Structure 1
Amino acid sequence: MITVTGRRRWTGEIGRYAPFALVMAVAAAGVVLIFLYHWRIGSGLIGGSLLVAAGLRVLLPEQQLGLIALRRKLTDIVLYGGLGLLIILVAATITGGPFDQ
């Protein structure tokens, strides 16, 4: 039988990993689009997932971040945001796929 305390702990753990699951879902959607030869959109989604991670790092308290909080707050924000913007910039310059002639 699950007690109230056990139920709170279980839902708290799910809430703790929900931001990471969101970021990974967006990145996975980008990878699927890349495999379907939608290079720009897929790469943009991967960069967007890093921007989402940076935004969540800014907005959420430390207890709710789970696996998004890897380093100090400022370091995470700068690295997630910078890499996300860089990937989106590269995605904007993609002109075609490997089979275009």
Structure 2
Amino acid sequence: MRSQFPFLLVLAVVVVGLVRIAQYYWREGTVLLGGALLLAALLRALLPADRAGLVAIRGRGVDVLLYGGLGVAVMAVALTIQGGPLTQ
């Protein structure tokens, strides 16, 4: 169970983000989802594979690149969308 702590931490941030989206704060929730991906990238970069748990899927470099890149992309899209029916 201890080795899964990084995954549970990332999952907790995802749950908070999904709750914010369900409360119609979609931009804040989506930024939290991107933040969860960045957290996963940071944890994967800092922790050895045996302590990273389910955050470690591929090689360290690939995981960090993909988690970080997708996290930045999700946050950038969420912060730059203008207008539309979901505007706050």
Common topology (TM > 0.5): yes
Deviation at 1:94, TM superposition (A): 3.2
Residue-by-residue CA offset, 1:65-96 (whole Å, 9 max, x unaligned)? 11000001110000000000000001102346
- Aligned amino acid, residue 32 of structure 1: V
Counterpart CA distance in 1 for 2:24 and 2:74 is: 17
Structure 2, gaps ≥5 residues long: none
- What is the one-letter code of the residue matched to 2:32? L
Which protein is bigger by CA-based radius of gyration? 1
TM-score by length of 2: 0.91
CA–CA distance in 1 between the matches of 2:55 and 2:78? 23
Counterpart amino acid of residue 48 in structure 1: G
State the 1:64 CA deviation. Answer: 0.6
Residue 4 (structure 2) aligned to one of 17, 30, 53: 17
Equivalences for 1:69-80 in 2 at 5 Å?
Answer: 69-80=56-67
Paired residues in the alignment total 87
Which stretches of structure 1, 4 residues or more, deviate above 6 A after TM superposition?
Answer: none
Unaligned runs of 5+ in 1: 1-13
1:53 equivalent in structure 2: 40
Deviation of the 1:99 alpha carbon = 5.9
Root mean square deviation of aligned Cα? 1.5
